[in-house]
Structure 1
Amino acid sequence: MELYLDSADLKEIKEAFQLGFLTGLTTTPTFMHREGIRDLDATIVELSKIVPVLQIEALGETAADIVADAERQLALGLDPKRTVFKIPVSLEGVKACRTLVDKGLKVNVHLVYTIQQAYMAAVAGATYICVLAGRMQDQGYDALTLIGDVVELVEAYGFDSKVMFSSVRNTEHVRNAIDLGCHTITVPWKLMKALTENNFTAIGTNQFIEHTRLITVTVGQAINTINPTVTTDISLTEAIVKMTEYGFGCVTVVDEAGNLKGVFTDGDLRRKLADGGRDVLSKKMGDFEYGTPISIESTELLDAAAALFKKTSVDTILVTENGKPVGMLDIQDLKND
């Protein structure tokens, strides 16, 4: 099934065609008016240089007028092999369709609301027969049954016409077009972007990314470049300021030679205040006793760190390099945000 973009927004048209596989663009004077376009011909020429196939309106009260409008637009420099003229279905419209097809041009007979209209378009040699599903449903008509009937008509009688599902209002319409065996569909960019979205796909993708990260990235590669470290000769108050400045729940405490003494956490702070009151704030970091911190070497994989987080139920682990502290690994660092 061919996939067309339905739009007149130049920005989204350029974005959409970066996909590299869209068949072409369908647009209407209504879209152009909505986008505030004033020079219709210049816009058509610009679009023709961006998209593989451009479907544009050819209008007129008589078949001769419609043909003349198509030829006038071709004279702007459009490639006849990459241009499809959209003609509203009518007796004059299908007459113009036959004339243009005989000239080797492509025609989309659209605004089709009945099987009889579709039949006339097919007999006239329309390249596309376009049923506006959303518009029909808005008016209370059974668009899906009609589209299915048109597909059956084309295939049963061997017409060369392609049935186009247009006026797409939701992603379910795309499924309808697939189920009905349509040959082509034209979709707004907002809905086209949603066609690959699925919550289960997102969950699975995130799991693959997370697990790949765990077994390929080392702790040293994942740690935050900020390493809040204090020496034993500064006060607890200064250490608290350091923790606050860097937004960490702990600081690494080292002696003047850079040797590890321990890790002081916000939990330690609460306990010290509870035991000694505000007087404890004036004490030096070297006045406190430290247990052996939970640590991991920077060369270990994140998978080992994840196991350590789970085993110890902590949120932050000291990272060392040959026993020397080099940073802190937060549990959030396991994810590649």
Structure 2
Amino acid sequence: MELYLDTANLTEIREIASWGVLSGVTTNPSLIAKEGRPFEETIREICRVVQGPVSAEVTALEAPAMVEQGRRLAALDEHVVVKLPTTQEGLKACKVLSSEGIPVNMTLIFSANQALLAARAGARYLSPFLGRVDDISWDGTELLREIVEIVQIHDLPVRVIAASIRHPRHVTEAALLGADIATMPYAVFKQLLNHPLTEIGLKRFMEDWEKAKL
């Protein structure tokens, strides 16, 4: 399973990229607005750092405008993936853009049926939102399991992105369920690495080494 950052913060992206484990980035207009930088310039810079898929989301609500925005975004860099909402208009735009060879990430997926529709519209990526499903007292990992199973049974040419990741356990569950990608905030990405027993073990090793040098 590949690991993505869900952010537009270039400092965060550069740090995680330096670990050698970052495969891509997902963004949205809210994340980019928070950085206070020009939208297109930010997307280009993220692509230069990551050198992998970078999802950039349209802001239009009608299919023709989504298609126009999607084409402009795709022209920014070869690594751009156009991110569309899973709505009727989003499906229409996905069909057009995907037929032109532009990769599409269908986002805001909250049901297996939405995922199936997005796949049939030509999406390359499906983004079910685990955390937000949990927020309404359902099981986000169960949604992910259904979508992964449908994709595998019907051999659909899509990649499933476990999105709206809230904690490291979500990442583990996504990997066990067969998600292709997990995208998460910087704080969660850092938590994947940290463990108190690792810190204790390293401290003991160094103490023993200091004694051995005496």
- Structure scoring higher RCO (CA < 8 A, sep ≥ 6) equals 2
Alignment of 1:71-150 (within 5 A): 71-75=71-75, 77-79=76-78, 82-150=79-147
Counterpart secondary structure, 1:195: helix
Q: Post-superposition shift, 1:11?
A: 1.6
Of 150, 154, 178, 1:181 maps to 178
State how far apart, in whole Å, the 2-side matches of 1:74 and 1:112 are.
Answer: 22
* Unmatched tracts of structure 1, length 5 or more: 218-301, 303-337
State how far apart, in whole Å, the 2-side matches of 1:202 and 1:39 are.
Answer: 40
Alignment of 1:46-57 (within 5 A): 46-52=45-51, 53-57=53-57
* Counterpart amino acid of residue 8 in structure 1: A
State how far apart, in whole Å, the 1-side matches of 2:124 and 2:73 are.
Answer: 18
Residue of structure 2 equivalent to 1:222? none
State how far apart, in whole Å, the 2-side matches of 1:166 and 1:138 are.
Answer: 14
Structure with a larger share of its residues in helix = 2
Q: Post-superposition shift, 1:38?
A: 5.0
Residue of structure 2 equivalent to 1:312? none
Counterpart secondary structure, 2:50: coil
Q: Post-superposition shift, 1:28?
A: 0.9
Residue of structure 2 equivalent to 1:16? 16
Q: CA RMSD in A?
A: 1.6
State how far apart, in whole Å, the 2-side matches of 1:102 and 1:55 are.
Answer: 18
* Counterpart amino acid of residue 162 in structure 1: R
Matched, 1:156 2:153: yes
* Counterpart amino acid of residue 171 in structure 1: P
State how far apart, in whole Å, the 1-side matches of 2:113 and 2:77 are.
Answer: 32
Q: Post-superposition shift, 1:87?
A: 0.5
State how far apart, in whole Å, the 2-side matches of 1:201 and 1:41 are.
Answer: 41
Residue of structure 2 equivalent to 1:30? 30
Counterpart secondary structure, 2:101: coil
How many residues get paired? 213
* Counterpart amino acid of residue 135 in structure 2: D
Normalised to the residue count of structure 2, the TM-score between the two structures is 0.92
* Counterpart amino acid of residue 180 in structure 1: L
Q: Post-superposition shift, 1:129?
A: 0.6
Fraction of identical pairs, as percent = 35
Residue of structure 2 equivalent to 1:209? 206
8 Å CA contact 2:8, 2:42 repeated in 1:
no
Q: Post-superposition shift, 1:58?
A: 2.3
Q: Post-superposition shift, 1:162?
A: 1.1
State how far apart, in whole Å, the 1-side matches of 2:32 and 2:121 are.
Answer: 28
Matched, 1:39 2:35: no
